[in-house]
Chains A and B, each alone.
Chain A
Amino acid sequence: MIRVAVTGLGAIAPHGDDDRALFAALMRGESALRPVFPELPKPAIAAVAPFDETRWFTKLQLAGVDRVSQIAVAAADLAMRDAAAANTCESERIGVYGGCGMGGAAALETAYRGARVPPLTIPSFMPNAPASHVAMRNQARGPVLTYSVACASSAVAIAEAAKAIASGEVDVAIAGGSEALIVPGVVVAWQAMQTLATFTPERAAQAVKPFAADRSGFALGEGATFLVLESEERARQRGATVRAWLSGWGTTCDATHLTKPDQNGQARALRAALQRAGLTPRDVGYCNAHGTATRIGDVVESHALAEVWGDDLGTLRVSSTKALHGHLLGAAGALEALVTILALEQRRAPPNVHCETVDPECRLNLVLESDLAAPDLRHAITNSFAFGGTNCVLLFSRA
């Protein structure tokens, strides 16, 4: 069986654009959540990604390119540089697999709010624009695909890219996702959904409390993350540094309810990833949880992990880094894949913060800030469970 290598990582994230620096910030428990849009009737917080578009675009190149595509191009470029993969194969053998939940929210907001609708609103807004811009920038002329699967978008994109590498359909896959919807119209829509964390002004940055008894939901985040995937054989032939192996993946659908999570669907995705990797639950030492800190979501995820891990649940250390970088929705799976890979590389697990009292319904071995070392860590998973019922689990192994 062809092993899938991760040879490059790139991110434009709330904690910056350097993968090791952003991981270090997560390890320190630094929250990137800040108040946004003080003009809104209800106070809002979000984690916005610092980004200087002039590093990647001239003013002329920015015509009709929404922020969601700008950060996608930048993150994919960082990943391709990390992999040193440019010009290593024919352009027809490069594929782009991009996750995006919404598309160009800023372009749409401008169209709704302005007196005139800019002529490039549609190409700016369309959800496949990020992947197309990544393709143009990298001359990827193979499959260039967008996966819009809500919160599992970029995890699904990475899983589908892995299949394309494993089957030999492409030589290089640029896989990940992008989301940039921190605009007033979208923030109020999420507020109306009543899944966002409540907070007091002085504790805004600590509002998201995964698996805590007093959790109240998530906060929106913004960013893009891409991975470069290649076969083991190709990576070795060209002397690429393998940052991790993508050993397994599992994608399922609950097919029960549009927004309510389902233990069975999640457990099936977890088992599928283990089976694909040929591993048992006990082999996996860390789980970057979906962990949205909603009342029901964290309980169902805990139960799904308990169902699959059984008596070995205590051997699996768990944290949700959404407490610190927010929920990047369509880009969440890719950023959390990057975090999971860094945990494997450094054999240190990021903490599950803001959780003073653990919900008794979430009986997990949560990573404490006082105990981050994971000296025996060899395999780790990251969960992405989406509105719409799609669940995707990625399983990475230390290179």
Chain B
Amino acid sequence: MAVDGPDQRDVRQGAGRIEDDDEEPMSTLTELQQLLHAKYNIEIDTIGPDAAMQDSGMDSLAIAEFMFAVEDHFHITLPDDDPSINTLAQLAALIDRVKAAPPAAAKTPAPSPVTEDK
């Protein structure tokens, strides 16, 4: 009903995969602004790239929900709670970094042996 429907895409936790090799038609920042507008009716010119997202009326819960939408939109997994991300410009830069990163297989440690060799 009024709760946002689930996204049915298969987003692999912790993988940070990039599956879209198309050239981007617009900057990540512009895409974020458009996403904010579509999701929350926040006008693009009321949230500048360097203003704190909280200043546009988003509280911590709305920001958490927005990050979820961002992950769906960009087909990425953002790192957990990065306290340094306060503005759209910082978020756009983070998204670009995640998208540019190689597949994050290295992040997953190899399973430790359960038993020691004799």
> Which residue of B1, B39, B65 has the most chain A CB atoms within 10 A of its CB atom?
B1
Contact A114 B6 (CB under 8 A): yes
Contact A115 B61 (CB under 8 A): no
Q: In this complex, what residue of B is CB-closest to A63?
A: B62
B116 neighbours in A (Cβ, 8 Å)? none
A106 neighbours in B (Cβ, 8 Å)? 1-3
Distance in angstroms between the alpha carbons of A115 and B39 in the assembled complex? 20
- Name the segment of A64-72, A167-175, A357-365, A380-388 touching the other chain: A64-72
Category for how many chain B residues contact A: 20 to 34
Contact residues, A28-81 vs B (CB, 8 A): 53, 58-60, 62-67, 70
B9 neighbours in A (Cβ, 8 Å)? 115
Residues 35-62 of chain B, each 1 if its beta carbon lies under 8 Å from chain A, else 0: 0000111100000000000000111011
A183 at the interface (CB under 8 A from B): yes
Residues 103-126 of chain A, each 1 if its beta carbon lies under 8 Å from chain B, else 0: 010110010011110111001100
Contact B6 A118 (CB under 8 A): yes
- B10, B62, B64, B72: the one contacting A60 at CB < 8 Å is B62
Contact A119 B67 (CB under 8 A): yes
Category for how many chain A residues contact B: 20 to 34
Contact B61 A60 (CB under 8 A): no
B21 neighbours in A (Cβ, 8 Å)? none
B84 at the interface (CB under 8 A from A): no
Q: Are A60 and B42 CB-contacts (below 8 A) given A106-B1, A119-B67, A120-B61? A: yes
Q: Are A60 and B2 CB-contacts (below 8 A) given A118-B68, A119-B68, A120-B64? A: no
Contact B64 A114 (CB under 8 A): no
Nearest-neighbour CB distance to chain A for B73, whole angstroms, equals: 13
Contact B2 A70 (CB under 8 A): yes
B6 neighbours in A (Cβ, 8 Å)? 110, 113-116, 118
A124 neighbours in B (Cβ, 8 Å)? 3
Contact B8 A119 (CB under 8 A): no
B83 at the interface (CB under 8 A from A): no
Contact A116 B7 (CB under 8 A): yes
A107 neighbours in B (Cβ, 8 Å)? 3
Main secondary structure, interface of A, reads loop
B104 at the interface (CB under 8 A from A): no
Distance in angstroms between the alpha carbons of A70 and B8 in the assembled complex? 25
B101 at the interface (CB under 8 A from A): no
B66 neighbours in A (Cβ, 8 Å)? 63
Residues 65-96 of chain B, each 1 if its beta carbon lies under 8 Å from chain A, else 0: 11110001000000000000000000000000
B57 neighbours in A (Cβ, 8 Å)? 60
B109 at the interface (CB under 8 A from A): no
Distance in angstroms between the alpha carbons of A59 and B40 in the assembled complex? 5
B111 at the interface (CB under 8 A from A): no
Nearest-neighbour CB distance to chain A for B65, whole angstroms, equals: 5
Contact B39 A59 (CB under 8 A): yes
Nearest-neighbour CB distance to chain B for A179, whole angstroms, equals: 13
Contact B4 A110 (CB under 8 A): yes
Nearest-neighbour CB distance to chain A for B93, whole angstroms, equals: 22
Nearest-neighbour CB distance to chain B for A47, whole angstroms, equals: 15
> Which residue of A59, A124, A180 has the most chain B CB atoms within 10 A of its CB atom?
A59
- A58, A63, A67, A114: the one contacting B61 at CB < 8 Å is A63
- A60, A110, A113, A116: the one contacting B40 at CB < 8 Å is A60
Contact A114 B5 (CB under 8 A): yes
Q: Are A67 and B2 CB-contacts (below 8 A) given A116-B7, A120-B61? A: yes
Q: In this complex, what residue of A is CB-closest to B64?
A: A119
Distance in angstroms between the alpha carbons of A116 and B8 in the assembled complex? 8
- B5, B39, B65: the one contacting A120 at CB < 8 Å is B65
Contact B5 A63 (CB under 8 A): no
Contact B7 A115 (CB under 8 A): yes
Distance in angstroms between the alpha carbons of A70 and B39 in the assembled complex? 18
Q: In this complex, what residue of B is CB-closest to A124?
A: B3
B100 at the interface (CB under 8 A from A): no
Distance in angstroms between the alpha carbons of A53 and B61 in the assembled complex? 19
Distance in angstroms between the alpha carbons of A123 and B39 in the assembled complex? 19
A67 neighbours in B (Cβ, 8 Å)? 1-3
> Which residue of B39, B61, B72 has the most chain A CB atoms within 10 A of its CB atom?
B61
Contact residues, B5-42 vs A (CB, 8 A): 5-11, 39-42
Closest 6 CB pairs of A and B: A114-B6, A63-B62, A60-B40, A119-B64, A59-B41, A64-B61
Could you list which residues of chain B lie within 8 angstroms of chain A, going by C-beta atoms? 1-11, 39-42, 57-59, 61-62, 64-68, 72
CB-defined A-B contacts under 8 Å, sample of 11:
A58-B41, A65-B2, A70-B2, A104-B3, A106-B2, A110-B5, A114-B7, A115-B9, A116-B68, A119-B65, A119-B68
Give 9 new A-B contacts, CB below 8 A, not counting A58-B40, A120-B61: A58-B41, A60-B40, A60-B41, A62-B2, A65-B2, A110-B4, A110-B5, A116-B6, A116-B7
